Amino acid sequence: MTDVTRLVIFGRQGAGKGTQCDRIVGHYGVIHLSTGDMFRAAVAAGTDMGKQVEPIMQSGGLVPDEMTIGIVRDRLAQSDVESKGFVLDGFPRTPGQAEALVEMLGDDKLTAVINLDVPLDEVTARMKGRGREDDTNESIAKRLALYEEETVPTIDWFAERGMVVNVDGLGTEDEVAERIFSAIERSG
Ligand code: AMP
């Protein structure tokens, strides 16, 4: 099917990605795929994978590519995702994950890769007010540093292939959502 919407959204933690993913789901009817949510569910369920990823998540580190790519591969193969499309949130986070994603999609091209841009000082302030369990000062600092080290090169990987649209993430929820929708329309 060519009309299925397949999206990747990038943005520093605290950039409002979760909120905007809800807006995208409401607008396009795609499925929200968040690797962070998948890992949190595994931790909550006490699965073997959950036990392995819990300390990594607590410290703000990255779960190994092999495990992360595996859960995304399994989820992308399910029929609801194949028919409704998706917005991937929090994946890919490394160039290796990006390559794996493009390879597993094969002929199913991504509709758009959105880079929701919010400056570092703004997201740091927002995250400190968020109060999530893995939001200690150290883990916030580590996640933001890893974003610069691993995820920015991942965005560059897509940019080199002409696939990234930058969206200004400052403004009201509605303003940002409108910018994202028009970026998707322009790419699609
Ligand atoms: P998030 O909700 O996207 O901030 O993810 C929470 C945590 O889950 C991250 O700090 C990582 O420890 C882990 N995680 C989520 N997605 C990935 C990914 N694509 N690669 C590696 N680790 C991930």
Question: Ligand 1: distance of its center to the CA of 32 in Å?
Answer: 15
Whether 68 maps to a domain, the answer reads yes
Question: Ligand 1: distance of its center to the CA of 108 in Å?
Answer: 24
Q: What phi and psi values does residue 49 have, to the nearest 5 degrees?
A: -60, -40
Task: Determine the pLDDT at residue 2.
Answer: 54
Joined tokens for residue 46: 């006490």
Task: Determine the pLDDT at residue 151.
Answer: 94
pLDDT tens, residue by residue, 45-73: 999 999 999 999 999 899 999 999 999 99
Q: In Å, how far from its chain's centre is CA 185?
A: 19
Q: How many domains does the chain have?
A: 1
Average model confidence (pLDDT) across the chain? 93
Between CA 10 and CA 157 the distance in angstroms is 12
- Strand order of the β-sheet with 6-10 is 31-34, 86-89, 6-10, 112-117, 164-168
Between CA 165 and CA 180 the distance in angstroms is 9
Joined tokens for residue 69: 């790519």
Average pLDDT over residues 90-102: 97
Whether 83 maps to a domain, the answer reads yes
Q: Which of 32, 53, 56, 62 to mutate to test ligand 1, by most ligand atoms within 8 A of the CB atom?
A: 62
Whether 139 maps to a domain, the answer reads yes
CATH number at residue 54: 3.40.50.300
Whether 32 maps to a domain, the answer reads yes
Q: Is 56 in the pocket of ligand 1 (CB under 6 A)?
A: yes
pLDDT tens, residue by residue, 99-129: 999 999 999 999 999 999 998 888 888 877 7
Q: Is 15 in the pocket of ligand 1 (CB under 6 A)?
A: no
Average pLDDT over residues 145-160: 95
Query: pLDDT category, 133, cuts 50, 70, 90?
Result: confident
Q: Is 139 in the pocket of ligand 1 (CB under 6 A)?
A: no
Q: Which domain holds residue 89?
A: 6-187
DSSP readout, 18-37?
Answer: HHHHHHHHHHH-PEEEEHHH
Question: Ligand 1: distance of its center to the CA of 7 in Å?
Answer: 18
Whether 1 maps to a domain, the answer reads no
Q: What percent of the chain has pLDDT over 70?
A: 99
pTM: 0.93
